[in-house]
Amino acid sequence: MRAENAKLKSPQDVIRGFIMENVSAAELDDDFDIFESGIVNSLFAIELMTFLEKTFEIKVTMDDLDMENFKSVSAAGRFVQQKKG
């Protein structure tokens, strides 16, 4: 999904869709910690960051590499909104 398509949905909706496509979860609460729960691993964190960069046309820097930024749909959505300014 490119940024043009992402604009039609909220960042949280787009991120939720990506996560649900990649894990076996029927539903996903926006505040559910995907890493603490064990449904994803650190490799998925890289995939998620790459997805966010490409989809929302943002740059994830070394300073951004904090799992708090990516641990849930809500956290990742806030991160994207912060990076978009």
Reply yes or no on whether the pLDDT at 49 is more than 70.
yes
Report the candidate in 65, 66, 73 with the shortest Cα–Cα distance to residue 37. 73
State whether residue 1 is helix, strand or coil.
coil
Reply yes or no on whether the pLDDT at 74 is more than 80.
yes
Domain ranges, residue 22: 3-84
Reply yes or no on whether the pLDDT at 53 is more than 70.
yes
% of the chain beyond a pLDDT of 90 = 76
- Tell me what the mean pLDDT of segment 43-50 comes to: 95
pTM: 0.86
Alpha helical stretches, state H, the chain:
3-6, 11-22, 42-56, 73-84
pLDDT at 6: 55
Q: What is the CATH number of the domain that holds 74?
A: 1.10.1200.10
Higher pLDDT, 60 or 85: 60
Tally of domains within the chain = 1
| pLDDT digit string, tens, across residues 7-33 | 568 999 999 999 999 987 778 899 999
Q: Residue 13 and residue 18: Cα distance in Å, rounded?
A: 9
